[in-house]
Amino acid sequence: MPKQLSRKICIKILCEWEESSKFIDSIIESECNNSELDPRDRAFIQNITLGVIRNLTVLENWLYQLRKGKTDSDIKRIIYIGLYQILLMRVPDHAAVNETVNLARTRARGLVNAILRRAVREQDELLGNLNSMAPADKYSIPDHIYSRWEKQFGVETAERIAYQSNKAASITIRSNPLRGGLTDKDISDADASPVKDYPAFYHVKKLPFEALNNGRCYAQDPSTSIAPNLLNPKSSHQVLDVCAAPGGKTSILSLCMENKGNITATDIKGPRSNRLTGNLRRLGIENVTVQSGDLLSQDNFLFDQNNKYDRILIDVPCSNTGVFRRRADAKWRLMPGFTKDLAQLQFRMVESIIPLLKDGGKIVYSTCSIDDEENSQLVEKIIEKFPHLTKIDEVSLIPQDDRDGVYAALLG
């Protein structure tokens, strides 16, 4: 596909993202599938759209340096695409300018051309200005989120988190022994290298699609192994995995149990449960029963039975602050005070599920957030409400080069 058409798709994707509540990944996937793109064009589109969203504050500051006046939103999108290509993607200047200018309406092309050509002339200065920006601006983190990080982690750590959160995540996979695991050829073809301290996880330069399709491996961040390994169920246990989709943690629970015993994995009916079922089948997991339902609904099947569980894993919906590098648009969806409603939802979910825990059983509460109000503070409230539980262990990780941020607490 000509790159001009690819850039038009980028504009369409960014427009839909701004004007809807859809997640950017689902929009990209839909548009790319509809356009029947080859892998290179898909990667080009993904690079630009996610790059623009990941760096919105930086692009906004650069545009203000290049033009002080008001710019219409449709023109601004086009300029951002051009600036990202010139300054951060390092597309050849002539291609970035000419192809981007042609995206604009005829009467706006002169303005877009002037701004982008000035950016080419002044790119050393513009890139140099990055170092003088405040960290929240430099790494395009909303101020109300960055200020929370400074308060919780301190100035130096907050900046490290912001830096990691603004990077594109590395590609990692987990070898799946239930389907034979990765072969030497898989490892060679994917240019894979082991992730330190996370057995069976590999960094890869490119995805081994045949191995993924055959279930020999699963695309998964190493941090997702923390919660299921902390729970560490045995094959004799009855296990409940709540909010289980897409199935990465469920599959590790199954490995802990040697693919024996019984896991009940639940999630909302529809695409999430369907994806969970498909992933588990492909991975060769045989000890899981998938059930669909809303945990907070009175009609949930879990509460119509007398079953109680030895082990429960509940990976609650959260702010995603530990996985911004993987979910580039999540930070722009969080409004000031975002933890209040989330923490209430998280507590209600845990509150509803604890009566299903056997006497002497254990439960892991897990999030992909690094915000204390969703994590250790919420665990304290759980223990206060259910004093028969105590905190046995706790893991809290901020994002780093080799993994995302995550929180998990083992209670029993």
Place of tokens 């004093």: 387
Reduce the secondary structure of 362-387 to three states and give it as a string: EEEEEECCCCHHHCHHHHHHHHHHCC
Residue 315 is given by DSSP the state E
Alpha-carbon distance 177 to 217, whole Å?
8
Closest among 312, 317, 191, 292 to 241, alpha carbons compared: 312
Alpha-carbon distance 354 to 362, whole Å?
10
Identity of the residue numbered 79: I
Judge whether 353 and 364 are in contact, CB under 8 Å: no
Residue 26: exposure state from Cβ atoms within 10 A (0-12, 13-18, ≥19): exposed
Query: Is residue 21 helix, strand or coil?
Result: coil
End-to-end, the C-alpha distance of the chain in Å comes to: 56
Q: Annotated catalytic, 15?
A: no
Residue 335 is given by DSSP the state P
Judge whether 382 and 365 are in contact, CB under 8 Å: yes
Catalytic residues: 368
